[in-house]
Structure 1
Amino acid sequence: MHRWLFPAVLLLSASAGAQDLQKCGGLSNPPAWVRSGVYAGVLGAKEITLGLNPRQAEGNRYFYAGQANELRLTPFHSGETLILQEEVRKSLGAAPVVTGCFTLVRAEGALRGSWKAPGTSTTLKVSLEPLNVARLPLKLPSSPGLLRLRGRDPLAFVRLNHAWVVSADGQRLREPLSGLDYPRLPQATPALQAALQDRLLSHAVNALACAMDLPENSGGEGYGLSTDVTLLTPRLLSLREDINSYCGGAHPDTATTGLILDRASGRPVPLSALWPSLTAARLKALYLGAATSDPASECDDVLREMQDRFAVSLGSGGLSLTPTSLPHVVSACAESVVIPLGQLRRGANTASRYFADLYPR
């Protein structure tokens, strides 16, 4: 999961901001010389880090050192001068309010200029130097997700590339900026540790994107994550992730993800490697057979007509299935059911290296 999970909110915000094009002056789009990159320096007396991306609107944003929130920027130009319009939503459903105007020029690769609060006499000097993100030392263990983030969203990489916090019992890992945490296995292989780190990293990126889309009066809404280890065997690790988020859209969102990982490699273990006969259609039939039936409930019809997509995780009781295709208005129907492992034994892959973990003698 990454920042593009929230495109609708981003597009709405960009559209609303476009209604106020002349607040900072200039014409739409940045000057031709602007390239994607990250800059670090000062705005007045405060340290800031600023990202530019002429091809992706969500890539234009900045943050103050020590502060959790990012501020969205809309680029304009006046000749060769770059104008960045700082936009903030004050309340839900309202168009963004322009809270600042950057006026910047190139100076031997650096950016120099000023920031001004519209309608006031407040003007602050801005001095920014290019930041070579590719050469920044990793402050977390190297992992595929961390390296991908450095290339895809260097500003998010700068924000999240810092030491994370291990709980006192060593069983959880917390990313301080987002406040999210994730299970940690102290004796895990480096590959599995990297896989778990990347899961938390992905959620932290989404949490920061969510926070940027919330209005100032959001009242503590945002991105919440609950993750539990549901099964731990010599060769397998299974987890369940539950997300509850509100990022300024029409309604809160929920999502459930099930993971089955190889404890040595950290790689996902396909369900077909454990039970080759468990097709999507078969999973739906098993789910409907195990789900509580109530003829007076509208959920019966909803569940029969839903698409056969499920969050799948393993537990000591069996295989847990949670529907993931239900629309928000009927999401309450998406109850989890557990299919006992014994019921699935006839179709199990006896040649699998995981068979003994699921069916010990």
Structure 2
Amino acid sequence: MRFLALSSVLLVGTSLAAPLGVFSGRVGSFDVVMKLDEPTSDWSVSNSTYFYTSKGLDVPLAYRRSGSNVTVNEYAAFELGADERKATATFRGTLSGDSFRGTWSTTDGKRTLPFTLKRVNVATLPLALPSSPGLLALRAKDPYNFVKVNRAFVVAKRAGDVTWLREPRSGVTYPRLPSGAAVNAALQDRQLQDVQYALSCLSDLSQRSDIDLQEGWEQDVTITYRSATLLSVRSDVGYYCGGAHPDAYIDGLTLNVRTGRALKLTDLWPTLTAKSLDAEYRRGFKQEGEPPCEETLSNRAAVTFEDYRAFLTKDGVTLWPTYVPHVAAPCAVEVTIPFARLGRGGSLAPR
């Protein structure tokens, strides 16, 4: 789940079978952003989608185009046990240049609203957040999600000299240091990534009429290590996106405070190998609960650094295994390895 799929790069074309692009505007008095990807011939739900800016949750769409006339079906909650998703509303409008205008109406005819949308040129949109590599890459490669997340964060709290900023719709909150543009840009980019994961999850959950959105995404980020040269944060996430069961994971991020570069363990301990790291984890592992964990820890085709998420603490490097399946969740135990057991450290390694 840590690697939830996000929408693909949008390519705006000119043929009737090509994507129409990203539009923003209003449906009635509601601000919306719409992405019209390739049209469909059978009304199957495609990558076309739109969201109300106040919520940021995607509503799936499918559309057909005949000349300047465009008909877009909106598909809302998927009823449990239903054979297929049903359209709940339709946009009927005319495309003229960069404008898309018409009428939105529910399929039962009980509600009708005018809509006016205009194609978005993201290059002209001002940044609502400080400039960062991830934000600029999103603007260049994924205009729809750029428009979604290019919104000012709010101050959640201040603790000492650290300010914690929250994205209002997802609730994802990350720290900012009092100085250091590079490290704060890196923290913002990781936060934006997690905001997209959270909103994607909540969008999926919103298509289930039988589930409360409050069950969808909970994330707690803490600073676990801070020095003049290093910052390490831990992220605990619990989520339910409408699948068979809820799940959870732990992630870690260690940054060079001066450059903002995300550091691997081998950047700090150059002689460390994946096998030696795995051996140290298993040495420190303490079995908790059932089922027995030895088979789970051993049942891997190959050992890699990706088997663990890591973050620094004052006592050492804490590892959390990524390879433990949900059914063996009690075996996903955190283990902290003292720095001295990781080999000879480089110039940045904590002592």
**TM range, smaller chain:** 0.7 to 0.9
Equivalent AA in structure 2 for residue 298 of structure 1 = P
Amino acid in the other structure paired with 1:270: K
User: Equivalent residues in 2 for 1:148-167 (5 A)?
Assistant: 148-167=137-156
Q: In the TM superposition, what is the alpha-carbon distance from 1:89 to its structure 2 partner?
A: 1.7
**Would you say 1:51 and 2:43 are equivalent positions?**
no
**Which of 192, 207, 210 is the aligned partner of 1:201?**
192
Secondary structure (helix, strand or coil) at the match of 1:120 reads coil
- Structure 1: how far apart are the matches of 2:328 and 2:243? 17
Identify the residue that residue 210 of structure 2 maps to in structure 1.
Answer: 217
TM-superposed CA distance for 1:85, in Å, is 1.2
Query: Amino acid of the residue matched to residue 178 of structure 1?
Result: S
| Alpha-carbon distance between aligned partners in 2 of 1:278 and 1:92, rounded to the nearest angstrom | 49
Contact 2:289 2:330 in 1 (8 A): no
Q: Which sits farther off after the overlay, 115-124 or 201-210?
A: 115-124
What is the match of residue 234 of structure 1?
Answer: 228
How far apart, in 2, do the equivalents of 1:55 and 1:292 lie? 54
Q: 1:35 pairs with 9, 16, 19, which one?
A: 19
- Map 1:75-114; keep pairs closer than 5 Å: 75-78=63-66, 81-92=69-80, 94=82, 95-114=84-103
* Aligned mates of 1:54, 1:293 — CA distance in 2: 51
CA RMSD of aligned residues (A): 2.8
Pair 1:109–1:278, CA change in 2 (3 A): same
What is the deviation of 1:196? 0.2
Give the match's secondary structure for 1:269.
Answer: coil
Distance in 2, matches of 1:103 and 1:163, equals 33
Q: TM-score, normalised by structure 1?
A: 0.82
Q: Which residue of 1 aligns with 2:298?
A: 304
Please report how far the alpha carbon of residue 156 of structure 1 lies from its aligned counterpart in structure 2 after TM superposition: 2.3
Q: Which deviates more from structure 2 when the two are superposed, residues 138-147 or residues 90-99?
A: 90-99
Q: 1:273 to 1:67 in 2, by over 3 A?
A: closer
Would the alpha carbon gap of residues 273 and 127 (structure 1) be closer, same or farther in structure 2, given more than 3 Å must change? Answer: closer
Q: TM-score, structure 2 length as denominator?
A: 0.84
C-alpha separation between the residues in 1 aligned to 2:150 and 2:28? 25
Question: Mind listing any 5+ residue stretches in structure 2 that lack a counterpart?
Answer: 8-13
Q: Does 1:343 align with 2:341?
A: yes
- Asked whether the equivalents of residues 82 and 103 of structure 1 are also in contact (C-alpha less than 8 Å), the reply is yes
Q: Report matched runs for 1:1-361 at 5 Å.
A: 5-6=4-5, 32=16, 34-54=18-38, 59-78=47-66, 81-92=69-80, 94=82, 95-120=84-109, 122-169=111-158, 170-187=162-179, 189-214=180-205, 215-219=208-212, 220-293=214-287, 297-306=291-300, 308=303, 309-344=307-342, 347-349=343-345, 352-355=346-349, 358-359=350-351
Secondary structure in 2 matching 1:250: coil
- Where does residue 26 of structure 1 map in the other structure? none
**What residue ranges of structure 1 are gaps of 5+ in the alignment?**
11-29
Report Cα offsets for 1:90-137 as digits up to 9, x if no partner.
545644332111123221331122222113254433222222221100
* In 2: Cα distance, 1:334 partner to 1:55 partner: 44
Look up the SS of the partner of 2:234 in the other structure. strand
1:295 Cα offset (Å): 11
Change in Cα spacing, 1:84 to 1:295, as seen in structure 2 (3 Å) is closer
CA gap 1:86/1:232 in 2 versus in 1, 3 angstroms: same
Deviation at 1:204, TM superposition (A): 0.7
Q: Could you tell which deviates more after superposition, 152-161 or 322-331?
A: 152-161
The alpha-carbon distance between structure 1 residues 182 and 294, as it changes in their structure 2 partners (threshold 3 A), is closer
Change (3 A) 1:43 1:353: same
Matches of 1:319 and 1:272 in 2, distance apart?
Answer: 12
- SS in structure 2 of the partner of residue 216 of structure 1: coil
Structure 2 counterpart SS, 1:32: coil
Quote the offset at 1:297 in angstroms.
4.4
Larger helix proportion of the pair: 1
Partners of 1:261 and 1:239 in 2: CA distance = 9
Q: CA–CA distance in 1 between the matches of 2:288 and 2:128? A: 53
Provide, for residues 271-316 of structure 1, a one-character-per-residue CA deviation record: whole Å limited to 9, x for no partner: 1222233211111111111111479842122112245311111111
Which residue type is aligned with residue 119 of structure 1? D
Cα deviations across residues 207-260 of structure 1 (Å, max 9, x unaligned)?
111111112332122122121111111111111222211111122232222222
From the superposition, tell whether residues 108 and 250 of structure 1 become closer, same or farther in structure 2 (CA, over 3 Å).
same
Query: Are the equivalent residues in 2 in contact too, given 1:290–1:339 (CA < 8 A)?
Result: yes
Please tell me whether the aligned partners of residues 195 and 266 of structure 1 are also in contact (alpha carbons under 8 angstroms).
yes
AA at the equivalent of 1:331: A
Quickly say closer, same or farther: Cα 1:310–1:218, change in 2 above 3 A.
Answer: same
SS at match of 2:108: coil
Q: Which amino acid aligns with 2:211?
A: S
Report the identity percentage.
37
Q: Is the 8 A contact 2:288 2:330 kept in 1?
A: no
Q: What's the secondary structure of 2:75's corresponding residue?
A: strand
In 2, Cα distance between equivalents of 1:174 and 1:45? 26
